Structure 1
């Protein structure tokens, strides 16, 4: 598995790997809705942004993450971020996560379009497993992951510590290469409805 950090795009979004030129746009996109960050390991709003950004850039340099700015194609605005991370070529797996969208970008085509692009990039480049995890308390995120067609694999108790210090239970989902054709078909159907 080899995941190159390239631009991914479709009719709805353009996913641009982080560069210094994107930093201010990403900062502006993430500096909202502080409560939405509560279940995350790291926060990226306000004073938390610099440390979060630096950690993302460091992980990209190490090859363990590709962090993307999510640009909405309809108006060119950066409306969030998402990543391929925990990249493990030796096991042919990675995770999709560290996803945050501005409130006005939630609930439409943005998330399924991003997931379609990321999953296709992973599976087209040799992945056999893509994991998606979320805080076990985040019911909305779990519903969105299930809607993608990911298989729920269980809850990892006290799996991570959030930036607020809470020991977080993590709901774990995965999509396998065997699942991908059906998941892709369903995502394509959903996205056609937004076109």
Structure 2
């Protein structure tokens, strides 16, 4: 498995790998909704942004993450971020995560479009498993992941310590290569409904 680094796009979004020229736009997109950041594993809001940005670029250089700015095609605005991370070529697996969208970008085609692009990119590169994890307290995120067609695999108790110091239980979801044709078809139908 070798996942290439480059932009991914469809008619709704353009995913642009992080580079210095995107820093200000990404910072502006993420500096909102403190309630949402409060339950995230890490924070990229406000004073936390520079450390988060530096860590994302370091992981990209190490080949374990591809962090993307999410640009909405309808108006060209960067409305969030998402990543392929925990990239493990030996086991042909990765995760989709570190996802945050501005409130006005939630609930429409942005998330399914991003997930369709990222899943397709990973499976086209030879992945056999793509994981999506979320905090057990985040019912909205769990519902969105299930709506994508990922299968719930269980709860990892006290799996991570969040930036606020809380011991987080993590709900594990995955799409494997055997699932991908059905998941892809469902996402394509869902995106087609947006016209």
Which TM class, normalised by the smaller chain length? over 0.9
Partner of 2:156: 156
Quote the residue 1:25 is aligned against: 25
Which runs of structure 1 show a deviation greater than 6 angstroms over 4 or more consecutive aligned residues? none
**Shift, 1:39, TM fit:** 2.4
Answering whether residue 166 of structure 2 is matched by residue 194 of structure 1, we say no
Q: Residues 25-104 of structure 1 correspond to what in structure 2 (within 5 A)?
A: 25-104=25-104
Q: In the alignment, is the contact (CA less than 8 A) between 1:39 and 1:138 conserved in 2?
A: yes
Q: Deviations over 1:138-182 (max 9, x none)?
A: 000000000000000000000001110000000000000000000
Instruction: Give the unaligned 5+ runs of structure 2.
Output: none
Distance in 2 (CA, whole Å) between partners of 1:20 and 1:127 is 28
Separation in structure 2 between the aligned mates of residue 126 and residue 3 of structure 1, nearest angstrom: 8
Alpha-carbon distance in structure 2 between the residues aligned to 1:190 and 1:123: 19
TM-score scaled by length of structure 1: 0.99
2:66 is paired with a residue whose SS is strand
Scaled by the length of structure 2, the TM-score of the pair is 0.99
Measured in 1, the distance between the counterparts of 2:178 and 2:6 equals 25
Once residues 31 and 150 of structure 1 are traced to their aligned partners in structure 2, the CA distance between those partners, rounded to angstroms, is 29
Equivalent-residue separation in structure 2 for 1:144 and 1:23 (angstroms) = 27
Report the number of matched residues: 195
Q: How far apart are the structure 1 equivalents of 2:44 and 2:101?
A: 12
Contact residue 67 and residue 84 of structure 1 kept, 8 A: yes
Q: Hey, what does 1:179 align to over in structure 2?
A: 179
Unpaired segments of 5 or more residues in structure 1?
A: none
How far apart, CA to CA, are the structure 1 residues paired with 2:92 and 2:145? 21
Provide the rounded CA distance (Å) in 1 between the counterparts of 2:40 and 2:138.
10
Q: Is the 8 A contact 1:39 1:168 kept in 2?
A: no
Shift of the alpha carbon at 1:38?
A: 1.9
Distance in 1 of aligned mates of 2:19 and 2:86: 20
Deviation, 1:35, is: 1.2
* 2: CA distance, partners of 1:133 / 1:62: 22
Could you say what the CA RMSD is over the residues aligned between the two structures, in angstroms?
0.5
* C-alpha distance in 1 between matches for 2:124 and 2:188: 16
The alignment partner of 2:193 has SS state of helix
- In the TM superposition, what is the alpha-carbon distance from 1:90 to its structure 2 partner? 0.2
